[in-house]
Amino acid sequence: MGYSRMESVDDQIPGTDEFMNEVLPAELDWQRLVRRYPLVSITIAAVGGYVLGRNRGEEILAALSNHAADLVSGQVNDVLGRRIL
């Protein structure tokens, strides 16, 4: 699943731009920084993910599990709803 260099982050991961704009100051051009310093960006993301996982790992897994269960139950309801009609 490769992405061309011409695609923006918005095209790759929906909602990324909105999330990053809420978290970071408005005057910070984070997309330019990620393009210019990709290894530093990956390192910062990895360290942040590690720290977040160590401190809030169980809560994150519970939220992801609930989200996955909601998606699966929604798909099952869609399939059953189509077959009933």
pLDDT mean values, one per 10 residues, the chain (85 residues): 50 70 83 92 93 90 91 87 61
pLDDT at residue number 35:
92
DSSP 57: H
Specify if 4 maps to a domain: no
- Domains held by the chain: number: 1
Helix, coil or strand: residue 10: helix
Does residue 3 lie within any of the structural domains?
A: no
Dist. CA 30–CA 23, nearest whole Å:
11
1 within some domain: no
| Structure confidence at residue 69 (pLDDT) | 92
> Residue 68 has what pLDDT?
92
